[in-house]
Amino acid sequence: MNEVNYNFPQIQKVKELIKNTKNKRMYQRYHVVFLHLLGHTNKDIANIVDLCQHTVGAYVNTYKAKGIEGLVMGKSTGAPRFLIAEQEKKLIEVITTKTPDEVVIPNRKNWDSVIACQWIKSNFGVEYSARGMLDVLRRLNLSYTRPTYTLAKLTPKNKRS
């Protein structure tokens, strides 16, 4: 352990944050800072919390530069979308107003993710997997239900005697 520089207000603040957080990743970041404030080396901290030394160093450096607020995670942007907003609007319009046999595949009356992939590839030149297309459709608030068929009710006129 390094020479301990006890800064009780900071340690108490970090202890309170550790106690009150419900986010596992933030708990881990606060724990790293707490151990750093107690004087542990980055190598020791990495072994204690089961992180690589580089990650521990990044957390400690962020804390030193920006304070405890610097450890708060921002929202992940995720991967960029393959379709622009206009293309997504066109997809919604086509799926909600037309059947597949009107735009892509003859003899098909119901949309599914594979057919939507084919339509997007032929119209926009963008390839999606069937699973990726399900994610796109969900994001666009389009739900998939299987068609169900019900037999017409028997009326007295249709009954056999």
The predicted-structure confidence for 53-111, as pLDDT tens digits, reads as follows: 999 999 999 999 999 888 888 777 778 889 999 999 999 999 999 989 898 788 888 89
Average pLDDT over residues 121-149: 87
Q: Judge whether residue 128 has pLDDT over 90.
A: yes
Mean pLDDT score of the chain: 86
How do the domains of the chain map onto residue ranges? 8-71, 85-139
Percent of the chain at pLDDT exceeding 90 = 57
- Token pair listed for 127: 């390839």
pLDDT at position 73 is: 83
Q: Phi and psi dihedrals of 37, rounded to 5?
A: -65, -25
Residues 81/85/87/89 CA torsion (nearest 10 deg): 130
pLDDT tier at 147, thresholds 50, 70, 90:
low
pLDDT at position 6 is: 58
pLDDT tier at 151, thresholds 50, 70, 90:
low
pLDDT at position 107 is: 83
Q: Judge whether residue 161 has pLDDT over 60.
A: no
pLDDT at position 62 is: 93
pLDDT at position 116 is: 92
Q: How far apart are CA 118 and CA 126, in angstroms?
A: 9
Check if the beta carbon of residue 39 is closer than 8 Å to that of residue 2. Answer: yes
Residues 127/131/134/139 CA torsion (nearest 10 deg): -80
